[in-house]
Amino acid sequence: MYHSILTLRSVGASQREIARALRISKTTVNKYLTKPEAAGEIDSCRRAGRSQFSVATDYISTRLLQKPKLRASRLYQEVISRYPEITSKERAFRNFIRKIKDDLPKDNRRFFSVIETDPGRQVQVDMGEEDIDLISGKRVKIHFAAFVLSFSRQLFVHCQLRHYKTDDFIEAHRQAFQFFEGVAEEYVYDQTKLVALHEKYREVIFNERFHQFALKAGFHPIVCEGYDPQSKGKVERAIQEVQQGFLYGRVFADLPDVRMQAMMWLEKFNGRLHAVTHQVPQKMWNEEKSLLKKIPEFFIERQSRMADKTGLISYKGNKYSVPMVFQQRSVFVSENEEMLMIYDPASSKVIASHQIPLGKGLMIKQSIHYRDISIEVKELTSRVRAGLEGFQDGHIVVERLVRENPHIARDQLNALRKMLDSFEDSTWEASIPIILRVPHIKATLIEKVLQTTLRQDAFNKAIADGDSAPVKESPIQRSLNDYMEVLHHD
């Protein structure tokens, strides 16, 4: 400042012109011009410290985006009431907000409050999509909805294979309520038809079905202005994290596998140190959830619980066991006729059920939950492999079946064991070479090959025993290889 004043003075600028150019008072210009050069040099070398108003930067920026003409005196009163630790005076505040105003957009577009981070107040919602690879070699498009609590930055993601319709979007909200264990006051959206059918002059015509859902759930939906990503910047960033940090580059078996891996990824993602808040979202959410509204009774179908490292969850004063694979993972629970039902969040399948006791402080366990399922799969693999050892390359069929279907290996092996009892050895001998030709072995495909081989054998036997040839154009006359070519392309 000191050298700027001297420079402008040296080119003939008046005190008034200098004050206008540097946006300071004429009195300040006069003070520096009359200051001895030595004293001016010393003062100009003082390093500026951090302003007390820095803690309110986000709030000040938001208010100025909303109300660009808001007077500094009124904004100062709002800031000191909101941040009582600030003791600096109004003049220092005016200097502080000058740079903020210079950095704000110069157009006349209105912005919604996006930096409001009061606990329990806001959830930002957005949708995205990404192509993923399946173990079968196919590529499919995953559509997902992301929900971010603005205060804690706790993230929830709902995934499905089709475009979202209103019912799908409502179901995603239900699951988000259960994941967050409550409902925020307001939810912020893009201008999507799932929420608002039409908007003009900021008059919003809501999707009636979704609006009724919002009223019943007890939250206020807010629709952003078009082309305004700043209005929900937190979830915009989360969309990129889901696309690039979770879905991109991974291989999945099917939709349930996507949802299961999503829950595992969320546990790690929400447990990281957030780059902006410098806090762990999971820990902040543990404090924030007490300020969320209770989920309405008619929405409470399942509640979220976290299993500890011993495979126990807490529910109404008691502890209940879950299978070993769900240790330190989230599960859903609900009561049904004095029974506690526990669900896998990814597939919604029941993974355990317990009788709810009358007392408190009890521990209810099932011994089967502490049996390593991987051992069961190994035992089953050995048993099925022994059944196919009599056939050339039979063991390869078993190995590929387990390797190519890791998340459903037990069910696949059980199906194969039943087929060993259902089909003759000759059918297996003829089918195994064909089974090994397909790119991805599944129990259903093995069954189709066996059935086709059996029909072909019956047809050949009928031809050998009969005197008349079949009709030339009959489909049954086709070679078994023709059918396998179709399966191969599938």
Residue environment code for 259-275, b if the CB has 16+ CB neighbours within 10 A, otherwise e: bbbbbebbeebbeeeee
Say which residue, 231 or 319, is predicted with more confidence: 319
φ/ψ (deg, to 5) at 139: -115, 130
Does residue 381 contact residue 413 with C-beta atoms inside 8 Å? yes
Mean pLDDT over 1-11 rounds to 80
Q: How far is CA 70 from CA 61, 75, 118, 251, in A?
A: 12, 7, 22, 53
Cα distance between the two ends of the chain: 75
Per-residue confidence band for 3, with pLDDT thresholds at 50, 70 and 90: confident
SS3 (DSSP) at 476 = helix
Mean pLDDT over 288-305 rounds to 77
pLDDT at residue 32, rounded to an integer: 83
Q: How far is CA 285 from CA 119, 150, 180, 289, 430, in A?
A: 9, 10, 8, 6, 59
Percent of the chain with pLDDT strictly greater than 70: 83
Per-residue confidence band for 220, with pLDDT thresholds at 50, 70 and 90: very high
CATH number at 122-290: 3.30.420.10
Instruction: Tell me the pLDDT tens digit for each residue of 30-39.
Output: 888 887 776 6
Q: Which of 81-90, 323-332, 427-436, 475-484 has the lowest mean pLDDT?
A: 475-484
Residue 353: beta bridge partners? 341
Residue 42 has pLDDT above 60, yes or no: no
Residue 252 has pLDDT above 90, yes or no: yes
Residue 370 has pLDDT above 50, yes or no: yes
Does residue 112 contact residue 188 with C-beta atoms inside 8 Å? yes
Q: Decide: residue 84, CB within 10 A, 0-12 exposed, 13-18 middle, 19+ buried.
A: exposed
Domain ranges of the chain: 2-103, 122-290, 304-370, 373-489
Residue 481 has pLDDT above 80, yes or no: no
Q: Residue 31 corresponds to which tokens in the numbers above?
A: 């003070």
Does residue 330 contact residue 358 with C-beta atoms inside 8 Å? no
Mean pLDDT over 189-218 rounds to 81
Instruction: Tell me the pLDDT tens digit for each residue of 255-267.
Output: 888 988 999 999 9
Per-residue confidence band for 226, with pLDDT thresholds at 50, 70 and 90: low
- Strand 339-343: give its sheet, edge to edge: 303-306, 330-336, 339-343, 350-355
Mean pLDDT over 455-480 rounds to 67
DSSP 106-170: -S-----------TTTEEEEEEEEEEEEETTS-EEEEEEEEEEETTT--EEEEEESS---HHHHH
Give Cα 346 to chain centroid, integer Å. Answer: 12
Residue 463 has pLDDT above 60, yes or no: yes
pLDDT at residue 113, rounded to an integer: 42
Question: If you average pLDDT over every residue of the chain, what do you get?
Answer: 82
pLDDT at residue 230, rounded to an integer: 53
φ/ψ (deg, to 5) at 48: -70, 135
Mean pLDDT over 55-73 rounds to 81
Instruction: Tell me the pLDDT tens digit for each residue of 119-177.
Output: 889 999 999 999 999 998 899 999 999 999 999 999 999 999 999 998 889 889 988 99
pLDDT at residue 475, rounded to an integer: 52
Q: How far is CA 475 from CA 1, 399, 459, 467, in A?
A: 93, 34, 11, 19
pLDDT at residue 31, rounded to an integer: 85
Residue 40 has pLDDT above 80, yes or no: no
Q: Which of 41-45, 153-157, 353-357 is most confident?
A: 153-157
Per-residue confidence band for 110, with pLDDT thresholds at 50, 70 and 90: very low
Say which residue, 370 or 445, is predicted with more confidence: 445
The total of other beta-carbon atoms located within 10 Å of residue 294's CB is: 12
Instruction: Tell me the pLDDT tens digit for each residue of 74-83.
Output: 888 888 888 8
Is the overall model pTM greater than 0.85, yes or no?
A: no
The total of other beta-carbon atoms located within 10 Å of residue 213's CB is: 19
Q: Decide: residue 34, CB within 10 A, 0-12 exposed, 13-18 middle, 19+ buried.
A: exposed
Question: What is d(CA 249, CA 143) in angstroms, rounded to the nearest whole number?
Answer: 16
pLDDT at residue 227, rounded to an integer: 46
Residue 486 has pLDDT above 70, yes or no: no
pLDDT at residue 480, rounded to an integer: 62
- What residue type is 2 in one-letter code? Y
Give Cα 279 to chain centroid, integer Å. Answer: 19
